[in-house]
Amino acid sequence: MREDRGADIVNVQFKKGVLELCVLVLTIKTDRYGYELVSAISEKFEIAEGTIYPLLRRLTKEGYFSTYLMESREGPPRKYYRLTEQGKSYAEELIAEWKSFERSVNKIIEEGTPYDSTKLSSEN
Amino acid sequence: MTAQNFLQKIEVFLRRLPPDERKDILSDYEEHIRTAVEMGRTEEQAIHALGDPKTIAKAITADYYIGVADATKSPKSVFRAIIASVSLGFFNLLIVIPPSIAFCAAFLALFVASLALILSPLIAIYCLVEGYGVSVIFTSLLTLGLGLFLFSISSWIVKKVFTQWFVRYLKLNIRIAGGGIQ
């Protein structure tokens, strides 16, 4: 329908991958409940907040999260997400992938930006 | 839209899911809205930030059926997964339809071929009546055996190989085009 549909799709796929990484990383140090995860991410970049929950369900089904309910001070219990051992190693895998991706993009930017490339050659 | 409104919409759009699953999903969104209000947002704000309930529900439905297809590997569950993925949007339609047709065609071709071979003794009986030699009977028994063999092979292929491959393809497709991220 729209000309930029292709670009949108790449964008969506990219965002989804990044969201998966973020959700996993946010639970490495501590178990978190859904709202906490959503707001931690939506503080940093714009998302349709409702999309985090299908993602959490999928990651739980795939065995990367286990869930449990815990009472909150404010009222009814909340569902907490805990990273499983499998989830931890998956998170590490994704982090490594992201870092190598980031390095590659940085390299392209450095090589493509005249100012930065002269700075780079003077540093070497 | 009120919280009740939003949850009702999700519930309606998730009608194809088993009740347990649906209840689980609804409680997630209920909890989210409740917590958002506790944290000082208005209900309206929280719902607006969640996004379109229809888009969310479609993504969940497709994810669910692909999960089922992946677990059972039955042709029926694969067809359901196909339909759910197609409902995600026009782009998906273009991507999903050609391999779906190929999937069905391959399944049909194997089925028809093995059926024809299994029914070949009937032709042999006809030939016998028409006055051909007894040897056609032996030939037909051979083709019958071949038909049964082909039938079991083809159902095995459909079950294991095709379904597995196709579910993987659908998953990839969902990850690219699906989801509720606008």
Q: Kindly indicate the confidence band of residue A12, based on its pLDDT and cuts at 50, 70 and 90.
A: low
For residue A104, what are its two tokens? 């590659």
Q: Phi-psi bin for A46: left (phi > 0), alpha (psi -120 to 50), beta? A: beta
Task: Give me the residues paired with residue A82 across strands.
Answer: A66
pLDDT at A1: 40
Q: Hey, is the C-beta of A69 within 8 angstroms of any chain B C-beta?
A: no
Higher pLDDT: B56 or A115? It is: B56
Residues in chain A with CB shorter than 8 Å from the CB of B179 are 12, 16, 51, 54
Q: Is the pLDDT of residue A77 over 70?
A: yes
Cα–Cα distance, B112 to B42 (Å, whole number):
61
Strands A32-33 and A75-83 turn out to be antiparallel
pLDDT at B136: 76
Q: Do A48 and B177 touch (CB under 8 A)?
A: no
Specify whether the CB–CB gap between B81 and B99 falls below 8 A: no
Q: Is A47 helix (H, G, I), strand (E, B) or coil?
A: coil
Q: What is the sign, positive or negative, of the torsion defined by CA atoms of A27, A29, A35, A38? A: negative
Residues in chain B with CB shorter than 8 Å from the CB of A46 are none
pLDDT at A113: 84
Chain B: closest CA distance from residue A59 (Å): 11
Chain A: closest CA distance from residue B107 (Å): 29
pLDDT at B28: 94
Q: Is the pLDDT of residue A63 over 90?
A: yes
pLDDT at B176: 60
pLDDT at B181: 45
Give the count of beta carbons closer than 10 Å to the beta carbon of residue B111: 15
The whole-model pTM stands at 0.64
Residue B64 one-letter amino acid = Y
Cross-chain CB nearest to B180 (options A9, A51, A56): A51
pLDDT at B1: 80
For residue B152, what are its two tokens? 């079991």
Residues in chain A with CB shorter than 8 Å from the CB of B181 are 12, 15-16, 19, 47-48, 51
Question: Which of A13, A33, A72, A73 to probe by mutation at the B interface, max B CB count within 10 Å?
Answer: A13
Q: Do A51 and B38 touch (CB under 8 A)?
A: no
Query: Alpha helices of chain A — where are they, by DSSP H?
Result: 5-26, 34-44, 52-61, 85-112, 114-123
Q: Hey, is the C-beta of B34 within 8 angstroms of any chain A C-beta?
A: yes
Residues in chain B with CB shorter than 8 Å from the CB of A19 are 181
Specify whether the CB–CB gap between A65 and A87 falls below 8 A: yes
Specify whether the CB–CB gap between B60 and B15 falls below 8 A: no
φ/ψ of A55, rounded to 5, equals: -65, -45
Residue with tokens 């390299």: A107
Q: Do A34 and B31 touch (CB under 8 A)?
A: yes
Cα–Cα distance, B51 to B56 (Å, whole number):
8
| Tens-level pLDDT at each residue, chain B (182 residues) | 888 999 999 999 898 889 999 999 999 999 999 999 998 999 999 999 999 998 888 888 888 887 777 777 777 777 777 777 766 654 556 666 777 788 778 778 888 888 888 888 887 778 777 777 777 777 888 888 888 888 888 778 777 777 777 777 777 766 665 544 43
Cα–Cα distance, B96 to B85 (Å, whole number):
8
| Mean predicted lDDT score pLDDT of chain A | 83
Specify whether the CB–CB gap between A47 and B181 falls below 8 A: yes
Strands A65-72 and A32-33 turn out to be unpaired
